[in-house]
Structure 1
C-alpha cells in the first residue's frame, strides 16, 4: 500500500530536522522516511524503504523482540527509548526515539522520530568522567578540599583534609569556627586580609601560606588556595571552594636553608630571611629618628610565560638582570631583596610617599625599556609595584608589608605595569561566623 500525503504534509515531513520513519508494525518494514533519516545513517532511499527497521536498530534483535516492542507502542500514548542506529560507514549513531501508533485509511502505522544525540552522549560521558575525578579528589587526592557556604557558614571538609589534621571521617564540625580557632595567632591578620581582599574582588584568588593547628595541638604549615565560585544577584559571594596542602616539610627545609645564608644565590640580592631582620632594624631606626620609611614590593608581569616559552635558564638570566638594573638605580642606603620567585622588595629609609612613588616609577620604566641583546625574541619585561610608607600606611613591619602587598595586587588588577599606593588597612580582627573561612 503506497501512502500519498498532500504536498503540504510532504514538505513538512521532509523538512523536520530529526529523522522520521513511517513503519508497518506487523512486518517492521520502513514504508517511508525523510531526508534527515537518510543523512543520519548514510543510506539511500532504496536501501531503507521496504527494509526492516531491525536492520537499522542495533538494540532490537529478531521478530519476537519487535513484536513485544510493537505491543508496548500500541499500549502507550507515546513510546520512548534510547537506542543506536547502524551507520553505513560502520559506526553507530546514538538516538532518542519517540514512536506513536495511529491509523490511516484503516491501516495501523507507527511514526518514529529519531533524534541524533551524539553530542549529548559525549557531554554526559565527559561529565561522568569529571564526576569520577571529583570523587577521587574528594577522597584520595593528596590535597584536602573544602567547600564553604557563606550565607550559612557551613564548611565541607574532605576526608583527606581531616586525615591531614589528624581527625577521623566523622570528626571536625562543618562550621567556620573549626578553621578560625586553629589558625596560628601570628598568621590570623594576614590570612584574614588576603581572604577579605579576594571576597571584595581585589585579588583574583585566595592564596596564602600559614600555620594551622592539628588535633594533637601541633602546628603544621599549609598552603591554602581557593576562589569564589558562586555569587547572588547582587554580586555578593555565596560559595567558595579550595584546597589545602601540607607544606610542613618544604617550609622547614626552606627555614633551615635560610638559617645558613643571607643572600639569594641566583641574584646576589639579600634573601627573605635577611629582609625580615633588616626590615625590623630599619623601622626601629626610622621610628627613633622620627623619619618616614618606604616599603616597595614589586614583581615581574607574566613571568611564568617567560619560563614556559624560553625555559628556566632564560628565566634565571632575566631575574639576574632585573636585580642588576634595580641595584644600579637605587640609593646606596636602600636595601633590595629577592622576596621569592619573581618578587622583589625594597626598603628605603628617610623617604616620603611622593619620592618613593617617583623612584618606583623610574624603576618600572627602566625595566620596561631594558633591551635583552642575547634574548632577541623575549621582547620587553614589565613589572607591577605596590608602595607603602611608615607611618602613613602602618606602624609595624607586618602592617607595612600587608599594605604594600595589597597595593601590588591592585596594580595587577588594574592592568599591570604600573605603580599603586597603599590603601587603609582592614581592621585586624577575625570575621564573624558567616564572613570569612579559609577552607
Structure 2
C-alpha cells in the first residue's frame, strides 16, 4: 500500500471499534486504510478492501462524477452525514450511516469516514412505524373521529372519519379551531369550553364532555368527546392536544327518552310527583339563598268519581289528559304543573307573591270550568277546587306549604267547590 501514511496509533485507537473506519483519498476515492470492522462488516478480507475504490463498497454512489460532487460537498460541509447501503459479500445490503470528515495530514488531503451499521436501528424504527400505524388504525376504528389541535396557531387536524360523520367530504372542513367552536350547540358551548379550559389550566386530568355538534345539514348530533394535552413548551404551557370523538346520538336519544319516562306521568304526560317534588325543593332552596317568594296551588277535580262511574274509566282518563293540556294554556312559562295522584294536581309558581299565585289559581279554575270538547267528550263542565299557599308566609319548607294548601283546599270543598281559597295564618301555624 504505497503512499499510505503510517498510522500505528490508528490501529490501537480504531482496531476494536464496532463501527467501520475508512481513510480515503479524495481525488480517487481509494481506500488507503481501514480498521478491522471496515472489512469484517462486509464479510471481506483486508485485501478486498484496501487500495480499492470506496465506490466498490457503496451501492448509492455510482461513478467518478457523482463521487466528485460528493467530495466537493464534504470539503465545504465537513463533517458530512450520508445514509446509504454497503454491499456484503453474500449479496445482501448493509444499511449504514456514514460520517465523513475532511482533514490535512501534512500537505496531503484525506477523508475519514466512520460507517455505522444501522440495520438494527432501522428495524426498530420500522417496527415503531408499523406499531404507530396499527395504533392509529385501532384508534380510528374505535372512535368516529380523531382530532389534533396545535395551540400555537389554533389549527386542527380532523380525521377523514370525523369529517364523514359530520357529512363533509375530503378537505371541506376548514382545519381551524373555529370550525369546531362554530358548530357547538349554543346551550352546550359555555359548559364545553369551560371543561376544555379547566384541562388546559391543569385543573382536570383530562378533557371530557358530551354535547351537541351541528353537522353539515344543520342537524345536531350528540357526541362524546375526550382528549388530553400531549405536548408542552419549556415553561409547561400546553402546545398540542389530541383526542377522539364518538357519535352517541342513538344512545343519547334512548337515554333522554328513559329520563323523560322516569320524570313523566304515564297517563297525562305531565311531570310526575317525584320530578315535581324535586323541582319544588330546588325552587325553595333558591328562595332561601336569594330571597323571594313562591306560590303552590293544590288542584283537586270536583266529583271526578262521578265521571268514572257514569262514563267509564277510559273517558275519565281522557278527561285527565284534557286537564293536563289545559294547564299548558293557563299557566305562566315559569310555572310547573305536575300530577300529584288520582285527580289531584299541583302547580308551582316560582317568584310569585300572594296576588300572583292567586291569579294563576283563578286562571286554572276558569280554564278547567270550560266544556271539554276535545275528543267529543260529553261529560259536562269539569270544575276544580284549589288551595293556594305561598312561601314564606305559609311555610318554610315543602311539608308546611302542602299542609297549608291542603287546608285551604278543604275549605274550598266545604264552601261549595269550583272555587279557590287562600291559606290562612292559622294554616301556617298548624304546618
TM norm structure 2 = 0.47
Higher relative contact order (CA 8 A, sep 6+): 1
Larger Rg: 2
